[in-house]
Structure formats: C-alpha cells, structure tokens
C-alpha cells in the first residue's frame, strides 16, 4: 500500500514541480550496468542480469531520449523520445499494443516513468543519479507485484 501512496505522491509532485530537460543535468549521459550490483527480481528469483546493459539518457525537445542496448557491442534494444509533461503518450516500443508512457523530470537527478497497458498502470520506474553524479540507478516494479523490484545500477560510461 505504501508504494501506491508513494507513486501517487510522485505524480502529484511531478504535476506541480516537473521541469524541462537541461543538457547539464547529471541524469543525462551514457551509463554502463554494474552487473554485480544489479538484480532482476521481476519473477522473484533475484537473478543477475546476463549481460552488461548500456543506457543512454539524452535531453531532446524538452524531454528525454531513452536508449537501451543489451550489451556494449549490441544495437539498441529500443530508443524513444518522450516529453516531460506527465501525459500518456503511445509507447513506440510496442506498436499495435495499447501501451503508453508518461514521464516526469522532478529534479536534475530524478526522472519518473509510468507505463500503462490497456489504460491501467503496468510499470513504475524511478531513474536517479547519486549526488556525485557517478552512479545511475533504475528501480522498476509492476503495481500488481510491488515487492518484486528490478534494481539496475550503472556507472557513467564513455
């Protein structure tokens, strides 16, 4: 229950305090997964990620370009642009499926994403950066199983 309240508070705060993207914000950059500190727990098995993911967050048109590759040498698994307006936009990662994404940029080091499937919340994601700007963390969970969270830890890449 606390996670639902937390999520609702984030949405309300984002609506009131969301901000646009600035290229100097510490959350933007190329991030390399630290597999030793990352846990894929969506199925409750605390599995390690089998490959070193690479995430690139870049400011784009007042929002974000979010790109993910499954390894440093692979082509991106996905890349999409999203405004920081907190509104539902079609999820280009899933053409033909009723899935949307909403993004909020709450602070220079914090982005929140809500995915909806068939109009219902299906995934929350919180992206944050450490105060020294060297560590990026993505925590995601399905509202139906809030205790099963994926934790992805990244260090700044070149």
pLDDT tens digit sequence for 53-93: 999 999 999 899 999 999 999 999 999 999 999 999 999 99
Q: What confidence score (pLDDT) does residue 19 get?
A: 53
Residue 102 CA: distances (Å) to CA of 11, 30, 64, 130: 10, 22, 11, 23
Give the model's pLDDT for residue 22: 54
Task: Give CA 120 to chain center in angstroms.
Answer: 18
For the chain, the average pLDDT equals: 88
Give the residue-averaged pLDDT of 96-112.
Answer: 96
Contact 32, 155 (CB under 8 A): yes
- The answer to whether residues 65 and 80 touch, using CB atoms and an 8 Å cutoff, is yes
pTM (predicted TM-score): 0.84
CATH top-level class of 2-156: mainly beta
Quick one: pLDDT at residue 132?
A: 96
């Amino acid at each position: 229950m606390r996670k639902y309240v937390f999520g609702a508070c984030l949405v309300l705060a984002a609506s009131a305090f969301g901000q646009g993207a600035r290229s100097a914000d510490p959350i933007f950059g190329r991030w390399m997964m630290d597999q030793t500190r990352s846990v894929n727990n969506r199925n409750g098995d605390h599995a390690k990620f089998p490959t070193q993911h690479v995430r690139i967050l870049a400011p784009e048109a007042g929002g974000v370009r979010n790109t993910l590759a499954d390894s440093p040498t692979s082509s991106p698994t996905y890349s999409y642009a999203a405004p920081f307006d907190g509104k539902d936009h079609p999820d280009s990662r899933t053409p033909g499926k009723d899935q949307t994404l909403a993004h909020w940029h709450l602070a220079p080091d914090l982005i929140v994403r809500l995915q909806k499937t068939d109009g219902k919340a299906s995934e929350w994601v919180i992206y944050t950066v450490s105060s020294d700007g060297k560590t990026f963390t993505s925590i995601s969970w399905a509202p139906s199983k809030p205790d099963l969270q994926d934790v992805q830890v990244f260090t700044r890449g070149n």
